[in-house]
Structure formats: structure tokens, C-alpha cells
Amino acid sequence: MKRKFLTSLSILLFLNLTVKTFWILGIDRSVQNLLGTESFGFYFNILNFSFLLNIILDFGITNYNNRNIAQHVHLLRKHFSGIVILRLLLGVLYMLVIMIIGLIIGYSKSQLAMLSVIGVNQFLLAFILYLRSNISGLLLFKTDSFLSVLDRLLMIIMVGAMLLIDSMRVQFKIEWFVYAQTLAYVLTAIVALGLVIYKSGFRRPSWSIPFFLMIMKQSWPYALLALLMASYNRVDTVFIERLLPKSEGLHQVGIYAEAFRMLDAASMVAYLFAVLLLPLFANMIKNRMDVSEIVKLSYTLIFVFSVSVAVISVFYSSPIMSTLYPIHPSESLLMFQERIVQSARIFSLLMMGFVAISTTYIFGTLLTANGSIRILNYTALGGVLVSFLLNYFLIPEYKAFGSAIASLSSQALTALAQMILVLWIFKMKKDWVYIFRMSAFVIGGILAGVIIQKIELNWFHGLIILAAFMFIWSILLRLLSLKALMAILNEGK
């Protein structure tokens, strides 16, 4: 299992790091720089609002299905046709609810128009994720790796062409950006649907209310978990836009989006671990296999990566932000400097939270595979309460920075709770030597950052030196062992 995990992870990471990183830092960032902070903040706030109601759209079916298919392969053929119809019905309900709530909270005509298109995109994306859950549930990780980047690859081609053609670049609108996503999702959904039909021996769609109720009864705890996680992961910009005056709110959302984009890019790596681990954990638990080695291996890898990224981000937040988001034509130098100071502070906090997010992707995934959904929901509810309270009290005074504090606090609380739960439920022994090495890795990285910054170096050279130190330090502490990794990869050859 360790070999299968590492080889599949390598393929998935390579494809996603090349394609999705280029999308986030190349295309998505270029669109914001072209349109400006407020215009992109308008889109980003509505996007995050649409995420909050994904409970209706998915109802926990994707995670439930992924775990279920990994443990009972024969259910793919039996359930697929009925679930497709159920998801279409949920999609219609989702669109009605988001538009009604949009009206209630006072969205303008332009906001509602944008919400309607983004809502369709969310439906398509959720449908693709469901289709992929069948592929990964069958442990066909190479096929799933291809599907995981197909939509972004198509978006890069379409949006990239618009940005390169001068006549289109001058007239570029945020609506074009959203429509390109729609087309990419449609094409990806068609390909994914064809693959699942081929693998499942698809029969004609079936309408069965008892079946729909059975699936929803079994998947609703997963739906509640998705709602709670979306609430403390995506509610920040909604609070910012609602609690601050309109113009200032959109500006602060845009600044928050600049910093969040980097967190989104880094979180993609942690999410890929969860994509692979959920079916692997579910299969191992069903077959009564010991999961402790896979847990330790996966967490060590993601811990080294996330802490390294966080340390580098904290020490080089300002030059990273100013390089990624240069001065806008409409900005004065003073306005630009103020924006970079704000985005750098927010970026530092969000990237510290990335360590906690990575932790939840390992331990939360294990608890999900084990079926410990009720207790996971309690931890997520705690995260939501912390996030809501801190956002409400901090945003009026500290604006987007206050929201970043709320994000870090809620993520850290949830991650700690999940780690304790895993140790308790799976009766894993505490390895104090391992804990010491992990602590030494963090402390060593911070000290190295302080020393390197005191040396007068070009910031990029300093960043590279710090990254190299973190890698070498992890090997010296025996957190990473190239020899051990190669031995695992050579197993079974």
C-alpha cells in the first residue's frame, strides 16, 4: 500500500503542480492584476458565497461514494444511474436556493447575474468530483490524475488566449473569465462521464424515490461536515463584504484574495493527499490492515512541505506579494505600498494556517474513512463557532487582517482536535522521538529564517537558501529518508 500511495502521489503531484500552479499563479493572478482589486473582489466574494451552500449541491454524496466504492466495488454499477438523477435534482434545488438567498441579502442585478453563472459552474464542478470519486474509489489513480487537471488545462488554453490577444485583453471582462470556466467544466464532465459509464456498465437512468432517500440518509452526515468545513474555510470574504462599507468591503476582499490565492495553490497539494488517502484508508480499514505506517508516512511528507512553505512565506511575505501583484495603473505609489503591506500581513497568517489545513487533510481523511463522521462534525462545528465569532468582532476594526486571524484560529483548533481524536480512536502510541524531530524541524526553520534575513542578500536568493536548508534539515533529522522512499518505490518490482 505504501508503494501504491507514493507512486500515485508522485503522478498526481506532478500533473497538478505543473497545470494548476500555472493556472493559479499565471492565469488567475494575471486576470486580477488586469482587472484590479475591486473588480476581482466582486467575483471572488460571490464565488465564496456559492461555496457555502454546496451542502445542497453535493449532500455529502461524493465523500460517501468514494469510501463506499473503495469498500464495495460492485455498488458502482448498482448505484450510479440513480445517483446521477439525484444529483441533477439537487443541482436544480441548489440554484433556486442560492438565487433566493442572494435576493434576500440584497445582491444587485449584476451580482445575481454573476451568481447564476457561478452556480452553474459549481454544479458542474461538483458533478465532476462525484464522477472522479467513482474512478478513485476503484483505485484507478492514474486515470483520476488525468481528470484532476483536465478542466484547468482547458481553462489555461481559453483564458490564456484571451490574455495574449491584444484586442481581447484590452476589453477583457470578469464575465469572460467565468464563461471560460463553464465551457471547461462541461467538456471535462463529458469526458469523466464517458469513463465512468465505460467502467460501470451504465444502465439507463433510474427514478426511485426510496433509493434517493436511502442515499441521502446515509450521506447527510458527510453533507453536514462539508457545510461546516465550507463555513470556516470560505465565509471570511462574505463577512468582510457584509461588515464593511461597500467600496471598502470589495477592496478588502480583493486584498484578501491576493493572499488567499497562494494558500489555495499550496492547499492543492494537501488536498491531493486526501484524494489518494480516502479510498486507501477505507480499503485498509475494511480489510483490518494497520494504517499507522501510512498515516505516519503521509503526515511526515505533508508536515515537512507545509512547515517549509509557511516559514518561507512568513519571512518573505512582502517581496512575494509585491512581485506577484505589481502596481495597478489606477494606484498611486502610496496606495500600492499600503496594499502590499496589508496583503503581506494577511498572507503570513494564512500560510501559517496552511500547516493546520494540511494536518486536517490527513487526520480528517482517516476519520472520514473510518466512518467517524459524527465526531468530525463536532470538531468542525467548533471551528465554525470560532471563525464566526472572531470574524464578527475583528473585521470592523482590523478589516481583512482580522479575518485572517479568524481563519488561522479556527484551522488550528480543528487540526488539534482531529489529531487527538485519531490517537484516541486508533489507539496509536505517542512517539516522543518523532515529536521531538518535528518540533526541532520547526524551530530550526525559524532560526534559519532569522539568520538568513540578517545577511544582506537578494530576497529571492535568501528564499532559495532557506528552502534548501529546510530540505537538508529534514533529512538530517531523519524526517525524510531518500533511501527509505526508494526502497518503498522498489517494493514489488
pLDDT tens for each residue of 234-254: 678 778 888 888 778 878 888
pLDDT at residue 489, as a whole number = 46
- pLDDT above 60 for 488: no
Q: What is the mean pLDDT of residues 135-153?
A: 77
Q: Which residue has the higher pLDDT, 358 or 81?
A: 358
Q: What is the mean pLDDT of residues 110-122?
A: 90
What distance lies between CA 203 and its chain's CA centroid?
Answer: 33
Cα–Cα separations (whole angstroms), residue 19 to 133, 151, 313, 416, 484: 21, 10, 22, 32, 29
Distance between CA atoms of residues 22 and 11, nearest Å: 17
Distance between CA atoms of residues 227 and 312, nearest Å: 32
Tens-place pLDDT, residues 59-110: 666 666 656 555 555 556 666 667 778 888 888 999 999 899 988 888 888 8
Distance between CA atoms of residues 459 and 320, nearest Å: 9
Kindly state the cell numbers that stand for 87. 444529483
Instruction: Give the dihedral sign, CA 167/173/175/177.
Output: positive
Kindly report the pTM of this predicted structure: 0.73
**Start-end of H helices in 370-399:** 373-398
- Mean pLDDT computed over every residue of the chain: 82
- Virtual torsion, Cα 444, 449, 450, 453, nearest 10 deg: 160
pLDDT band, very low/low/confident/very high, at 466 (cuts 50, 70, 90):
very high
- pLDDT above 60 for 492: no
Asked whether the beta carbons of 67 and 278 are under 8 A apart, the reply is: yes
Angle (CA) 231-324-160 rounded to 5° is 85
pLDDT band, very low/low/confident/very high, at 414 (cuts 50, 70, 90):
very high
Tens-place pLDDT, residues 285-320: 878 888 888 888 889 989 999 999 999 999 999 999
Distance between CA atoms of residues 253 and 261, nearest Å: 12
Q: What percent of the chain has pLDDT over 70?
A: 82
pLDDT band, very low/low/confident/very high, at 135 (cuts 50, 70, 90):
confident
Q: What is the mean pLDDT of residues 13-37?
A: 78
Distance between CA atoms of residues 356 and 325, nearest Å: 26
pLDDT at residue 19, as a whole number = 80
**Distance between terminal CA atoms of the chain?**
14
- Virtual torsion, Cα 278, 283, 287, 288, nearest 10 deg: -10
Q: What is the mean pLDDT of residues 103-125?
A: 89
Name, of 170-174, 203-207, 462-466, the range with top average pLDDT: 462-466
